[in-house]
Every structure is written in C-alpha cells, then in structure tokens.
Structure 1
Amino acid sequence: MFNTGGAVEQVEINKPELFDGEVSSNTATIALKVRGNGRFGVYSSQSPLKCAVDGSETDFFYDSETGLTTFLIPVPSEELYRWSIEIQV
C-alpha cells in the first residue's frame, strides 16, 4: 500500500521537547491513521526502532540501501477501518 486512493488519512510527528525547546530525546514517533491492508511501506533515512499497528508491536523489514521500511497490516474486521500506526525512529 503506497497511499494509492488516499490510504494515509492522517500523519502526526511527536518529538519530545523540554519547556525551553531543547530536545529531551533523540527519538521521534510518527503516528498515522491509514485504511486498507497488506504490505505497508514508508521511507526513512534510518531504521525504525519499532513499528506498531493498533498498539501491537509488529515485525518490519528495513532496506538500508533504499530506506524503505515495510510491514504487514492485517485484514480489518470492518469496512473502511482506520488503523493506528506508530513508527518510532
């Protein structure tokens, strides 16, 4: 699934910061709301630390030559279900 037909409906990037604007961590979490099922792909300049689908950590594959990260999204039990995806980098 590569956002054909608007599969990715929402993207939010969360990077922890202290009150004075300093970054408290070297990690960020990308939260997505997506529709559909099957192999899902995102590009990243570094390997993710973890990927989760609806709060359940999932196995993923990262190709360091291309930056492509892929993992599987299961078939939803209801039509037009919006999956919550979290990718920590």
Structure 2
Amino acid sequence: MQHDADVAITLLNRLPAEHATNEHCAEILREGQLGFDLMRGKLVHMHLECDDGLEVECIAFTDGSRALRLLRPGNLNESTPWISCPPLSYISAPSQTGAGVL
C-alpha cells in the first residue's frame, strides 16, 4: 500500500538543493492537496563531529505516514534524501501523559 509520504518523497527528492527549502517543499505538498504538518528539531550528541548537531525535518501526513531527512543547520546542500515511514504502531499502550511505557 502506498502512503502519502511515499508520494511526497518521490517529488521532494527530485528537487535541486537550492529549491529544497521548507517553503518550497510545503508549496509542492499543498499543490498535491496532501494534508501535513512540517516539523524541525535539533539532534545533539556529544560524539557527533558537528558542534552544531544535526537537524531532523519531519513531515507528518494525515494518513499517519511520515517523511524524514537529516541536515546540518543552515546547509541544505548537506541534507540526506527524504525517506518515508508508514504509519507507526504502538508497541505498548499509551500512558495518560501520551508517552508509552516500555
């Protein structure tokens, strides 16, 4: 079964680096009438060579699938290709706070 993220990464991975900005990616997804939320966060680990850490971008689609990529802060030329993830399943029951207990 193909999910929204599968369609999205096909389109987004065809973009040249200079056009792979958040705004341009969001515009393409809106044109395709895909419902989504675009999020970005910072990954920091003391053993990474990059002092600034890495950033992760996640596009969460209304069908539960996600598209992800990693990039160096402020440098789209060093980003990974987008990858897709089908909707996730709970591996434990959600707790009252929303975090699962393992």
Higher relative contact order (CA 8 A, sep 6+): 1
**Fold conserved between structures, TM > 0.5:** no
Larger Rg: 2
Higher strand share: 1
